[in-house]
Amino acid sequence: MKISPALAIAALASLAIPLFTPEGYVIQLLNIAILNAIVVLGLNYVTGWTGQINFGQAAFYGLGAYTTAIATKAGLPWIVTPFLSAVMVVLASLILGLPTLRLRTHYLAMTTIGFGEIVRLIIVHWEPVTGGTSGLRAIPGISVFGFGPQGQIQHFYLLMAALAIAVVVAARIRHSTLGRAMIATKDSEIGAEQSGVDTVRTKLFAFMIGAVYAGLAGCLYASSIRFISPDSFSGTQAVLLMTMLIVGGMGSIVGCIVGAVTLTILPEVLRFLGQWYLVLYGLGVIAVIVLAPGGLASVASVARLRWASPR
Amino acid sequence: MGQLVVNGLALGSIYALVALGLLMIFNTVQIVNFAQGQLLMLGAFIGISGAVTHELPIATAWAITMAAMALVGIVFMALVYFPLRGRPPFLVILTTIAMGIVLENLALIIWGPLPVSLPSPVRGAPLRFLGVVVSMHQLFTFATLAAILLLQYILLTKTRFGILMQATAQDLHTARLVGIPVSRTIAVAFAFGAMLSGIAGLLVAPIFLAEPTMGGSLGLKGFVVSVIGGFGNLPGAVIGGLFLGLIETFGARYISSNFRDAYAFIVMIGVRVAWPRGLFGENSSAKV
């Protein structure tokens, strides 16, 4: 894994952000951006590398969050919740993935949208357990044998560590046999099968790993933000996650993080636009897909190439 | 019981119309338009602007809406599909979703979030038959669906244009090579598809009221219907639509109305597993 010096400096600089920002709104927003980045990294396995569309990622995010919230509110120690969440989303991804991953693009899109909608309806209508549309409040925080982060800044560092692990795992998998099989599946399923890649199994693995990323991010979301509601995991959120991936740059780890952070912060900065923000957001997505298919990550690398080449 | 059947079929006719609009586009470019529901919403609001705001006669409002929607369809194609020809199809899925977001929020800005009603083009006392009430609007909906089905059947199978569409769907480059005006064919298909969803919008608004966010779930129902009937299959779209309308109405009455929207997806996933190409077969020229 090669790390460019510019990226290393950017990563280190981001660790210094809390030194200049007080506890509160901005740090909370960054914490959500980091969690979204982990979820988008998960989506990248399925869509960016394996080439399968997936609008179920927000539902996996929600499953992880609700599993953790319900378990800790019922009195289970926090340390078991990451495992519980992971088991839940792996089961859900198998239920969704086994019958559907052989499907072609628009069927897969539809089925994953349907899955997300069913999960959302269950969350909204199973009120005694999930709190319905008003969500769950006062979720117990992260605590391992009595030790846990206090305040948003400590959570920030904890989430940055989680993101770092997510990035390292993603980079390792990308260059493993499985990672190469994913890329081959995206480029040509027939070609991949001919070369001995079990494409259905590869897709299923990508799907499961992606779901685990979302589930664990959901677990951290519930116990660090400590309030969850169905809106955070709706179909709109699923489209937003896909947009983050595309705007950042499909298949690029840096792109995932850039896309997630940009599209989490942008709506807050452009709040004064009101309803017009969403109009511009839609047009912006179309513009990126048409004009810069590799997303922001590719824009950066193209610029670097131009800059490096002699004029 | 009989009343539920009538209501279910009326709802199903709307779903069938959405699916017929999708089919028009799918049969030409093998692309699924995920903004079909938002086009429907737009049709309903253009109709309301004409008939309610400007107090035009309802027939004039219908004519204006259909013409405007045809134009919208062409602009839609130029923005969302045309620049992405030959690129992976899921990019087009995303641009259509993005365009749906744009249309929905533009409608919120222009017409506001409150639900608005549109008068039905037909008046008259509802028919009563063995305790079942059928409103004039429901009858009109069935008649419109039947007329459009017939028209579309003739267009697709008996005319020169239908053959051009089929050739374009099978192989864009070869079609162009043998002198088929590919771009024009695609533009007409999008115009017609948008017009059909506009008509569906004009038919929905008198029953459920129109609001800018109505498109999402209706559009999704259109896909579910297409999946049940088999994508691009004309009778499949209609029978699938009526079938889904019945399932939802009966499910809401006898199981639970909370999960009304979930039945569609459960049925869809079930159909996909049991009949992978839909109940009536898929009209697809894509190589698997």
Nearest of A92, A106, A54, A93 to residue A204 by alpha carbon: A93
Q: Closest partner residue to A286 among B80, B108, B288, by Cβ? A: B80
Measured between alpha carbons, how far is B256 from A92 in angstroms, rounded to an integer? Answer: 23
User: Which residue would you say has higher pLDDT here, A2 or B225?
Assistant: B225
Using a CB–CB cutoff of 8 Å, tell me whether B84 touches chain A. yes
Residues of A in contact with B34 (CB under 8 A): 109
So what's the pLDDT on residue B104? 92
8 Å CB contact between A110 and B223: yes
pTM equals: 0.87
For A235, residues 6+ apart whose C-beta sits below 8 A from its C-beta are: A55, A58, A113, A116, A117, A120, B216
Measured between alpha carbons, how far is B77 from B81 in angstroms, rounded to an integer? Answer: 5
For residue B105, tell me if it sits in a domain.
Answer: yes
Alpha helices per DSSP H over B159-214: 160-170, 172-177, 182-208
Residues of B in contact with A110 (CB under 8 A): 32, 220, 223-224, 227, 268
8 Å CB contact between B51 and B118: yes
Domain that holds residue B98: 11-214
Angle subtended at Cα A107 by Cα A106 and Cα A112, rounded to the nearest 5 degrees = 100
pLDDT (tens, 9 = 90+) of chain B, 288 residues, equals 788 888 899 999 999 999 999 988 888 888 889 999 999 999 999 999 998 888 888 889 999 999 999 999 999 999 999 888 878 787 888 899 999 999 999 999 999 989 988 888 888 778 887 778 888 888 999 999 999 999 989 988 888 888 888 888 888 888 888 888 888 889 999 999 999 999 999 999 988 888 998 888 888 888 889 888 887 788 888 999 999 999 988 888 888 877 777 888 888 878 877 777 777 777 654 433
Residue B286, helix vs strand vs coil: coil
For residue B249, tell me if it sits in a domain.
Answer: no
Read off the pLDDT of residues A63-117 as tens digits, 9 standing for 90 and up.
999 999 999 989 889 999 999 999 999 999 998 888 777 777 777 888 888 889 8
So what's the pLDDT on residue B267? 85
Q: How far apart are the first and last CA of chain A?
A: 31
Tokens of residue A163, six digits: 């993101």
Read off the pLDDT of residues A252-284 as tens digits, 9 standing for 90 and up.
999 999 999 999 999 888 888 888 988 999 999
Q: How far apart are the first and last CA of chain B?
A: 44
Read off the pLDDT of residues A28-65 as tens digits, 9 standing for 90 and up.
899 999 999 999 999 999 999 998 889 999 999 999 99
Neighbours of B20 (CB within 10 A): 27
For residue B122, tell me if it sits in a domain.
Answer: yes
Residues of A in contact with B101 (CB under 8 A): 239, 278-279, 281-282, 285
Measured between alpha carbons, how far is B5 from A172 in angstroms, rounded to an integer? Answer: 57
Nearest of A185, A298, A295 to residue A245 by alpha carbon: A295
Measured between alpha carbons, how far is A174 from B216 in angstroms, rounded to an integer? Answer: 36
Tokens of residue B245, six digits: 């309308």
For residue B258, tell me if it sits in a domain.
Answer: no
How many interface pairs between A and B have CB atoms less than 8 angstroms apart?
112
Residue contact A110–B90, C-beta within 8 A: no
| Strand-pair category, B132-134 with B127-129 | antiparallel
Using a CB–CB cutoff of 8 Å, tell me whether A129 touches chain B. no
Four-point Cα dihedral A245, A246, A247, A253, nearest 10: 50
How many domains does chain B contain in total? 1
Please report, as a single letter, which amino acid is at residue A265: I
Tokens of residue A148, six digits: 């846990």
So what's the pLDDT on residue B283? 65
SS3 content of chain A, % helix, strand, coil (to 5): 80, 0, 20
Q: Closest partner residue to B265 among A117, A242, A283, by Cβ? A: A117
What letter does residue B105 receive in the DSSP assignment?
H
Please, what is the angle between helix B2-29 and helix B160-170, to 10°?
70
Tokens of residue A59, six digits: 């539902």
Read off the pLDDT of residues B158-200 as tens digits, 9 standing for 90 and up.
888 888 888 888 888 888 888 888 888 899 999 999 999 999 9
Residue contact B272–A100, C-beta within 8 A: yes
For residue B277, tell me if it sits in a domain.
Answer: no
Tokens of residue A98, six digits: 């086994």
Find tokens 């309301």 and name the residue. Answer: B48
Tell me whether residue A290 is exposed, middle or buried, using C-beta atoms within 10 angstroms of its C-beta: 0 to 12, 13 to 18, 19 or more.
middle
Nearest of B92, B88, B117, B114 to residue B25 by alpha carbon: B92
Predicted ipTM > 0.90: no
What letter does residue B129 receive in the DSSP assignment?
E
Residues of B in contact with A286 (CB under 8 A): 79-80, 95, 98-99, 102
8 Å CB contact between A69 and A229: no
Please, what is the angle between helix A105-125 and helix A81-100, to 10°?
140
Q: Closest partner residue to B265 among A118, A246, A275, by Cβ? A: A118
Measured between alpha carbons, how far is A114 from A104 in angstroms, rounded to an integer? Answer: 15
Measured between alpha carbons, how far is A187 from A174 in angstroms, rounded to an integer? Answer: 15
Would you say the C-alpha torsion A236, A241, A242, A246 has a positive or negative sign? positive
For residue B231, tell me if it sits in a domain.
Answer: no
8 Å CB contact between B72 and B39: yes
Tokens of residue A89, six digits: 């989303």
Four-point Cα dihedral A103, A287, A234, A46, nearest 10: 40
Neighbours of B10 (CB within 10 A): 23
For residue B245, tell me if it sits in a domain.
Answer: no
Residues in chain A: 311
Measured between alpha carbons, how far is B165 from B186 in angstroms, rounded to an integer? Answer: 8
User: Which residue would you say has higher pLDDT here, B124 or A215?
Assistant: A215
For residue B129, tell me if it sits in a domain.
Answer: yes
Residue contact B90–A121, C-beta within 8 A: no
Task: Chain B: give the shortest CA distance to residue A140, in Å.
Answer: 30
